[in-house]
């Protein structure tokens, strides 16, 4: 199974130790499932960590390197405009390019879709519920 994490999941994973997002990220680190990411998602993540959470350039570099070690980087081939929030469209693009099983997010615009081109859209809690014996 392959999942795409929305930026909000990564932020929660790195900002809040032992959060549900942190647990989900640790499952990916352990190889329980594959994690897919794109350069656009990484750019949004690193930008928010610096501007909203005061991460230093070195901290940002460490987070980006950590994600790149765990996730497979995909380059989307198509540009979408499905939801009003443009960064959310980058999540959909990555999921399509990665042929992901699902997108994991807390974003209401994406969650409202439920599915996009047969790619499920779920919360972190839904993901963790799928792997109870791995927690």
Q: What is the pLDDT of residues 14-69, one digit of tens each?
A: 999 999 999 999 999 999 999 999 999 999 999 999 999 999 999 999 999 999 99
Distance between CA atoms of 29 and 27, rounded to whole angstroms? 5
The predicted-structure confidence for 76-101, as pLDDT tens digits, reads as follows 888 988 888 899 999 999 999 999 99
Query: Once rounded to an integer, what is the mean pLDDT over residues 99-121?
Result: 95
CATH of domain 2-134: 3.40.50.1010
Tell me what pLDDT residue 44 has: 97
Distance between CA atoms of 86 and 96, rounded to whole angstroms? 16
Residue owning tokens 């009003």 = 84
Whether pTM exceeds 0.85: yes
**What one-character-per-residue DSSP string does 44-67 give?**
HHHHHHHHTT---HHHHHHHHHHH
Tell me what pLDDT residue 59 has: 97
Residue 103: in which H helix or E strand, if any? strand 102-104
The HSE-up count of residue 92 (CA atoms within 13 Å, CB side) is 22
Please report, for the chain, the start and end positions of each structural domain, with discontinuous segments joined by +: 2-134
């Amino acid at each position: 199974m392959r999942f795409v994490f929305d930026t909000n999941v990564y932020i929660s994973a790195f900002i809040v130790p032992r959060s549900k997002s942190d647990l989900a990220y640790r499952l990916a680190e352990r190889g329980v499932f594959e994690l897919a990411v794109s350069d656009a998602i990484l750019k949004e993540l690193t930008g928010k960590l610096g501007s909203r959470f005061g991460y230093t350039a070195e901290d940002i570099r460490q987070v980006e390197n950590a994600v790149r070690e765990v996730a497979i980087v995909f380059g989307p081939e198509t540009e979408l405009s499905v939801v009003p929030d443009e960064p959310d469209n980058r999540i959909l693009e990555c999921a399509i390019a990665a042929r992901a099983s699902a997108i994991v997010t807390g974003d209401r615009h994406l969650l409202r879709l439920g599915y996009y081109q047969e790619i499920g859209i779920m919360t972190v809690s839904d993901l963790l519920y799928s792997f109870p014996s791995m927690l």
